Amino acid sequence: MPGASNAAALAAHLEALERALHDPVVRGDVARLAALLDADFSEIGSSGTCYGRAAALADIPAERSQVEIVSDDYAVTLLAPTVAQVRYRSWYVIDGVRQREVLRSSLWRLREDAWRVVFHQGTPTAP
């Protein structure tokens, strides 16, 4: 079944891209980070604060050494041929202490033969 194989490959690719956004090396490299963020990128952070692309490119590299990001339970849904949703849960680990769980959702858009995240939202779970 070629369709299922392609869907699985796309899901694995998008999960890898999402996980790259958690990697301290990528988070600290503005050029690599910029390559993953769509020109129209925006985010509603788990704090409730809204960010645009410029703020993300300034803030994410500054926090890279302070946090480790652990994530699991990925689910990828193709919404249109060039738009996919990636959902998962994550935790920041700060000084070895696991922080509150956050449910996350990203919208990825295929443009110019590359997938880039166009929107991200983090919602803290109930304590």
Beta bridge partners of 121: 44, 105
At 108 the three-state DSSP class reads strand
Structure pTM? 0.90
At 49 the three-state DSSP class reads coil
Place of tokens 């983090």: 122
Q: Encode burial over 21-48: b for 16+ CB neighbours within 10 A, e otherwise.
A: bbeeebbeeeeebeebbbeebbbebbee
How many CA atoms lie less than 13 Å away from 34 in the CB half-sphere? 7
Give me the domains of the chain, ranges plus CATH numbers.
Answer: 2-124 (3.10.450.50)
The C-alpha angle 60, 104, 78, rounded to 5 degrees, equals: 110
- Cβ atoms within 10 Å, residue 92: 18
Tens digit of pLDDT at every position of the chain (127 positions): 446 679 899 999 999 999 999 999 999 999 999 999 999 999 998 889 999 999 999 988 887 667 789 999 999 999 999 999 999 999 988 888 888 899 999 999 999 999 999 999 999 998 6
Kindly compute the dihedral angle of the four CA atoms of residues 4, 8, 13, 15, in this order, to the nearest 10 degrees. Answer: 140
Place of tokens 């997938």: 115
**pLDDT digit string, tens, across residues 33-51:** 999 999 999 999 888 999 9
